[in-house]
């Protein structure tokens, strides 16, 4: 129970830090990309996607506290996977800069 509260707080804090623009180095893949690869992405849109995902996952994790059934755990995992897939697709389409 305490672990879920800690995870919820961490997700919320990291999501806010990324949305504010101070956590670009916390975005997996972006922080290890070369300068040329980073220029291909609109960093504001990428921040919006990643930060938004973390902020959405925070309350989902918090609501998992009251549920002690396996069904709730499976639903949480399924929703998390679906949301992550959506973010990956949008990061590679919507967050990429248009080539001239």
Helices (H), 1-100: 2-20, 35-38, 43-63, 70-93
Residue 47 makes CB contacts below 8 A (sequence gap 6+) with 18, 19, 21, 23, 24, 27
Structural domain total, the chain: 1
- What's the token pair of residue 7? 């995870």
CB 81 within 8 A of CB 37: no
For position 69, what pLDDT does the model report? 79
Does some domain include residue 65? yes
Does some domain include residue 99? no
pTM of the predicted structure, to 2 decimals = 0.86
pLDDT at residue 100 tops 70: no
List pLDDT tens digits, range 11-30: 999 999 999 999 988 888 88
For position 15, what pLDDT does the model report? 95
Show the domain range for 42: 2-93
Residue 7 makes CB contacts below 8 A (sequence gap 6+) with 61
């Amino acid at each position: 129970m305490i672990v879920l509260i800690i995870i919820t707080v961490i997700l919320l804090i990291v999501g806010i830090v990324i949305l504010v623009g101070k956590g670009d180095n916390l975005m997996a893949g972006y922080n290890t990309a070369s300068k040329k690869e980073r220029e291909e992405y609109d960093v504001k849109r990428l921040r919006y996607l990643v930060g938004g995902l973390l902020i959405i996952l925070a309350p989902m994790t918090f609501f998992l506290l009251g549920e002690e059934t396996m069904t709730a755990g499976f639903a949480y995992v399924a929703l998390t996977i679906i949301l992550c897939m959506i973010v990956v697709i949008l990061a590679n389409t919507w967050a990429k800069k248009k080539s001239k």
